[in-house]
């Protein structure tokens, strides 16, 4: 089996025999949905491949290729009357250089438009009767000339726009470099706004359909008066899985890989469990739709596993690691740091009354007026996803999976442990804990490094949560472990489980289950100064601490039995009861 990791060309995937998940039956739905459509998904979620699919399906010049490309697919068995009826033009704003001053960006955009228009004139020369004049200094004039020529034929133009919000994304990554430029591009008669006005007006002479993809609605929010006719498909249930893989599709692909490599089919549940924890969890509709796998991450794994028959050591594809910059961007906004850190809360999802669907860059660069705004941004970036509704009917948002959780954890690690020596010390104490279960050096490190920082930041949602978060952030390592915060253990919830990855069990790594309790300074009858002078043995002897430890140990005994029933003899489980005292000391 061949997996098209990094390939977004429909023709290449079909002609060269790559793995392909067939979504072509949605073409008829999209035709019925409207003529000016917007579809938003996070980065690297298969949007470009979908545009390539539409391009090949509707392209007038590719009519002779239809049976070869689509004959074996769902749409090939029942094509729509519009197949291969359009001049197709595709714009990809990610290749337009956003650097330089306003004039440089304008010229880069015009040059790109002229290249795409030239491509259309060459490809459809036999059908275009009118002359198309290319103005090297004005790509909009060239576009108008093309539309004039198209309107003189019996055919219409289907315009596909990829990465339409690329300029805004550049502002988010580096606001100091691009904020002023971007505002000039979209405000008044800015070139982006003017370009979309031309697309809108083209609907009456030449353009029949437009399909736009991007990450967020930010650009449309900035150019509302210039382009206010697009129907948003983003949250409609029937398009929920237009991009992405379902669990069944991934299971079928993995079964094929195991068979091709003569590996035991019995390994399938173990691999699926790993992939579910690392890559699954995305939901883009408010209905009871199935969770989706990120297709780029899934293909990254499938490509590696099919080549080598083993798991990649690094489960996070480097192409998605840059999404951490989106989290950092939101954290820099007013109140953003608190919200980003609260997203790590395992049992209390962030809630919003509704997703904000119209906002502009100015909203992102100033204090948000709507408390739902920041969480909505994280949703559009793909680092939060829909997780149902609260008791009050609000939308719940949660981190979708472990690779995204890693991005949050690494941001917090860098924030709290900015120095090389801090990270070196962290690595030393956690590796000791992984292999021996020794909590002493780990607890010393958390007391000295984390609690002092946590005490001065807006991270004190609850004492027990802060203790749990400190351990999660310190211990996180997806190369060795599947880390579960609040694991379900037979209708109960543990606090933190470090389960050794199946491919890492040959090494000197232990499984760990930690249960946390907290007691206040008032409960132990000590001041902060007195607490600092006590040895751990003296702290263990305090009645309130002893009671908390016994409660945690009783829970751990129940959890251990549940885990051992689930996992059989494979676990090398060590359990740890940890008591935090006043967010200053730790006892185990």
The pLDDT of residue 455 is 53
Q: What percent of the chain has pLDDT over 90?
A: 67
pLDDT at 174 over 70: no
Gap between the Cα atoms of 151 and 5, Å rounded: 39
Average pLDDT over residues 241-267: 96
95 forms beta bridges with none
Q: Which CATH architecture has domain 10-239?
A: 3-Layer(aba) Sandwich (3.40)
HEC assignment per residue over 132-145:
CCCCCCCHHHHHHH
pTM reported for the whole predicted model: 0.90
On whether the CB atoms of residues 76 and 25 are closer than 8 A, the answer is: no
The pLDDT of residue 459 is 43
Around Cβ 259, how many Cβ atoms within 10 Å?
11
CA distances from 470 to 25, 406, 452 (A): 47, 14, 11
Of 188-197, 261-270, 311-320, 390-399, minimum mean pLDDT range: 311-320
Mean pLDDT of the chain: 90
Gap between the Cα atoms of 200 and 226, Å rounded: 8
Around Cβ 112, how many Cβ atoms within 10 Å?
17
The pLDDT of residue 283 is 93
The SS3 assignment for 167 reads helix
Give domain limits for the chain.
Answer: 10-239, 247-281+292-312, 323-401, 417-587
The pLDDT of residue 257 is 97
Gap between the Cα atoms of 576 and 588, Å rounded: 7
Average pLDDT over residues 88-104: 88
């Amino acid at each position: 089996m061949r997996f098209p990791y990094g390939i977004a060309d429909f023709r290449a995937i079909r002609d060269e025999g790559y793995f392909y998940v067939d979504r072509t039956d949605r073409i008829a739905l999209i035709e019925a949905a409207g003529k000016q459509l917007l579809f938003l998904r996070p980065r690297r979620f298969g949007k470009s491949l979908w545009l390539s699919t539409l391009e090949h399906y509707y392209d007038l010049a590719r009519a002779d290729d239809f049976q070869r490309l689509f004959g074996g697919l769902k749409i090939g068995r029942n094509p729509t009357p519009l197949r291969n009826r359009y001049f197709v033009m595709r714009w990809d704003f990610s290749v337009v250089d956003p650097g330089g001053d306003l004039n440089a960006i304008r010229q880069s955009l015009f040059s790109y438009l002229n290249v795409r228009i030239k491509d259309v004139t060459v490809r459809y020369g036999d059908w275009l009767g009118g002359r198309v004049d290319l103005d090297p200094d004005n790509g909009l004039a060239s576009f108008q000339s093309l539309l004039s020529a198209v309107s003189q034929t019996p055919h219409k133009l289907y315009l596909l726009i990829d990465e339409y919000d690329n300029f805004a994304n550049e502002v988010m990554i580096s606001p100091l470099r691009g904020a002023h430029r971007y505002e000039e591009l979209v405000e008044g008669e800015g070139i982006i706004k003017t370009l979309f006005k031309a697309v809108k007006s083209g609907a009456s002479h030449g353009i029949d359909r437009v399909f736009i993809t991007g990450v967020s609605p930010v650009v449309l929010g900035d150019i509302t008066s210039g382009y206010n006719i697009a129907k948003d498909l983003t949250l409609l249930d029937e398009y929920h899985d237009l991009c992405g893989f379902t669990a069944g599709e991934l299971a079928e692909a993995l079964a094929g890989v195991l068979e091709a490599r003569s590996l035991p089919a019995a390994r399938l549940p173990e691999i699926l469990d790993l992939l579910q924890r690392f890559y699954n969890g995305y939901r883009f509709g408010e209905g009871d739709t199935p969770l989706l796998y990120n297709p780029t991450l899934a293909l990254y794994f499938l490509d590696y596993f099919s080549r080598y028959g083993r798991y990649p050591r690094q489960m996070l594809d480097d192409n998605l690691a840059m999404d951490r910059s989106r989290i950092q961007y939101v954290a820099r906004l007013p109140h953003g740091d608190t919200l980003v850190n609260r997203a790590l809360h395992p049992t209390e999802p962030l809630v919003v009354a509704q997703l904000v669907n119209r906002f502009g860059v100015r909203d992102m660069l100033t204090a948000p007026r709507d408390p739902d705004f920041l969480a909505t941004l994280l949703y559009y970036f793909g680092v939060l996803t829909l997780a149902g509704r609260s008791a009050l009917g609000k939308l719940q948002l949660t981190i979708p999976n472990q690779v995204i959780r890693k991005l949050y954890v690494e941001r917090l690690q860098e924030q709290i442990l900015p120095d090389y020596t801090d990270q070196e010390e962290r690595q030393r104490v956690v590796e000791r804990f992984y292999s021996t279960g020794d909590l002493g050096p780990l607890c010393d490190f958390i007391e000295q490094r984390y609690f002092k920082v946590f005490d001065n930041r807006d991270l004190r949602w609850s004492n027990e949560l802060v203790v749990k978060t400190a351990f999660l952030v310190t211990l996180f390592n997806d190369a060795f472990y599947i880390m579960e915060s609040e694991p379900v253990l037979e209708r109960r919830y543990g606090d933190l489980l470090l389960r050794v990855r199946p491919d890492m069990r040959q090494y000197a790594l232990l499984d760990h289950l930690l249960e946390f309790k907290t007691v206040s300074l008032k409960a132990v009858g000590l001041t902060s100064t007195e607490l600092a002078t006590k040895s751990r043995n003296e702290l263990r002897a305090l009645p309130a601490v002893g009671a908390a430890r016994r409660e945690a140990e009783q829970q751990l005994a129940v959890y251990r039995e549940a885990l051992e029933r689930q996992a059989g003899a494979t676990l090398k489980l060590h359990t740890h009861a940890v008591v935090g005292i006043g967010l200053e000391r730790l006892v185990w």
